[in-house]
A and B are shown apart, each in its own frame.
Chain A
Amino acid sequence: MNWVWFYRLGSPLWFYQTTTRWLPWLSLLAFMLLATGLVWGLGFAPQDAKQGNSFRIIYMHVPASFLALVGYFLMAAAGAIGLIWKMKLSYMVMKAAAPIGAALTFLALFTGAVWGKPTWGSYWVWDARITSMLILLFLYFGVLALQYAFHNEEASNKASAVLALVGTVNIPIIYKSVDWWYTLHQPSTIKLTSAPSMHPDMFQPLLVMILGFYCFYVVALCLFTRVEILRRERKTTWVGDLIGSSNNAVEGEK
């Protein structure tokens, strides 16, 4: 089997150059999807029979929760790849994924709280899903804190990779906890295997929002990773060339 593509994927230079080319287009796509989804969901999707207009928060809450969870798996997978193949880029992606994931988890909790107030009459309910989301936020905090605690880059990478992996063992348990002490929350609205229980008119904008969030996530991840690449590769010649060329461009404009 040809592994060249895999090793090329591990090269920070290759990543930096490719993302320079693709990021504008991907950002445009993410912006269009998010804008379409928001306008559609907030203005054109029909009202929910029981919850009225407050259900429109779903268009932010569900994608944020999705990505918060996916982000953790991605972080752990990047860490595992780093540990196994000693790939520099993979650690950088892992480090970039932590703050984004924490922010999205916070967003999921916040939108959940403002959705809970009109629906259940209180901002906070100790229900299984909200609690597991909170635990996910704590898991992210742990990884972030561990990353910053080490002065040694190498040790920081490896330690947070292992912690992320240990945390993933917890995530299936978090999912199971929905069954264990399910109380107030609605059952899972989207099941990947069965047909959606939502009306298509409500579901389609949600799908657009989820896609938009995915694109946005990739854009944000690339941006954070690029900063990390520059920071760690500052001594290399290609970064020097990069700066030289951008300086020349500025001087040329003058």
Chain B
Amino acid sequence: MRKYTSDGFYAYLRRDLLQSHRRLGEAASPLIFFVMASTLVPLGITPDPASLAEIASGIIWVFALLATMLSVGGLFAGDYQDGSLEQLLISPQVLVMPVLGKVTAHWLITGLPLTLVSPLLGLMLFLPEAGYLPMTASLALGTACLSLLGAVGAALTVSLQKGGMLLALIVMPLYMPVIIFGAATVQYGIDGLAWTAPLAILGAMLAAAIALCPLAIASVLRLTSIN
């Protein structure tokens, strides 16, 4: 039985990764959005290094959040349209593991690249040197949190025709604790404080999200997507 459930996890992880590999342009768009949006900031506010350094951590975090939120809407949409979501729902498998597999794939496609590219943006926005390690660490944990929470919203809106804006509305309040601690981690690092403390809370949030969100997603999919 145990092997059976983890099979669901790996099968869906592999499948989603493969799908995004085949449509690389689509998969890369959150990352490109992240970089482009961050370029708007010096143009819109000021190119002055000192003032950019002050807001860099917050800006990187806000755009990482937006990039995740924009991409998470598609998490179940394709499967819903081509009917494979229904297949998944009527299969005898435990729904939680495939769902977790799909969300993990989403994080590997968006959250991880965002995390890896963030030092580059830090460089462009003059992030103080002490902020780099806290930023990558907090983004790695935080984007995983965002993927999980966003997937709940994606599951809630999957059967709606125009779910995009609604998804943002639903998910954004849930994201707020994550961004508070994510940005605080970077700020603590810059100020020379013990930045592992907010990072640990972010980790605790992630642990809770891994335990609870797949359950919520699975039940929502069962409840709402079959009309």
Question: How many of A's residues come within 8 Å of B, CB to CB?
Answer: 25
Say yes or no: A145-B170 contact (C-beta < 8 A), given A135-B176, A162-B156, A173-B177: yes
Partner of A170, one of B157, B177, B227: B177
B positions within 8 Å CB-CB of A:
152, 156-157, 159-160, 163, 166, 169-170, 172-174, 176-177, 180, 212, 216, 219-220, 223-224, 227
| A170 in contact with B166 (CB, 8 Å) | no
Overall SS of chain B's interface: helix
B220 CB to closest chain A CB (Å) equals 5
Residue pair B180, A177 in contact (C-beta under 8 Å): yes
Best-surrounded residue of A142, A150, A152 (most CB of chain B within 10 A): A142
Expressed in whole angstroms, the Cα–Cα distance for A138 and B152 within the complex equals: 17
Q: Please, what's the 1-or-0 string for A20-43, where 1 marks a CB less than 8 Å from any CB in chain B? A: 000000000000000000000000
Name B169's contact: one of A142, A155, A162, A181 (CB within 8 Å). Answer: A142
Complex A-B: 20 CB contacts under 8 Å: A138-B173, A145-B169, A145-B170, A146-B156, A149-B163, A149-B166, A150-B159, A150-B160, A152-B227, A155-B159, A155-B223, A155-B224, A155-B227, A159-B223, A159-B224, A162-B156, A162-B219, A163-B156, A166-B152, A170-B174
Is A6 interfacial (CB 8 A cutoff)?
Answer: no
Interface string of A149-162 (1 = CB under 8 A from B): 11010010011001
Complex Cα spacing A163 to B170, Å? 8
Docked complex: A129-155 residues within 8 A CB-CB of B: 135, 138-139, 141-142, 145-146, 149-150, 152, 155
B180 / chain A contacts, CB cutoff of 8 Å: 177, 180-181
A146 pairs with B170, CB closer than 8 A: yes
Q: Note all chain B residues with C-beta closer than 8 A to A162.
A: 152, 156, 216, 219-220, 223
Chain B residues positioned under 8 Å from A173 (CB to CB): 177
B227 CB contacts on chain A under 8 angstroms: 152, 155
Q: Chain A residues with Cβ under 8 A from B219's Cβ?
A: 162
Q: Which residues of B contact A180 (CB under 8 A)?
A: 180
Q: How far is the CA of A45 from the CA of B212 in the complex (A)?
A: 48
Per DSSP, are chain A's interface residues mostly helix, strand or loop, or mixed? helix
The 4 closest A-B pairs by CB, nearest first: A158-B223, A138-B173, A142-B170, A155-B224
Residues in A with CB closer than 8 Å to B220 are 158-159, 162
Further 20 A-B residue pairs, CB within 8 A, beyond A162-B152, A163-B156: A83-B223, A135-B173, A138-B169, A138-B173, A142-B169, A149-B157, A149-B163, A149-B166, A150-B160, A152-B227, A155-B224, A162-B219, A163-B170, A166-B216, A167-B174, A169-B212, A170-B173, A170-B177, A173-B177, A177-B177
Least CB distance from B64 to A in Å reads 19
Chain A nearest Cβ from B95, distance in angstroms: 14
Give complex CA distance A163, B172 in Å: 12
Contacts of A165 in B (CB 8 A): 216
The answer to whether B173 touches A142 (Cβ under 8 A) is yes
The minimal Cβ–Cβ distance linking B39 to chain A, given in whole angstroms, is 27
- The residue on A at minimum CB distance from B174 is A170
Q: For A170, what are the chain B residues with a Cβ–Cβ distance below 8 Å?
A: 173-174, 176-177
Smallest beta-carbon distance B74→chain A, Å: 18
Taken together as a complex, chains A and B put the C-alpha atoms of A149 and B216 apart, in Å, by 20
A161 to chain B, nearest CB (A): 9
Closest partner residue, chain A, to B173 (CB atom): A138
Contacts of B152 in A (CB 8 A): 162, 166
A151 to chain B, nearest CB (A): 9
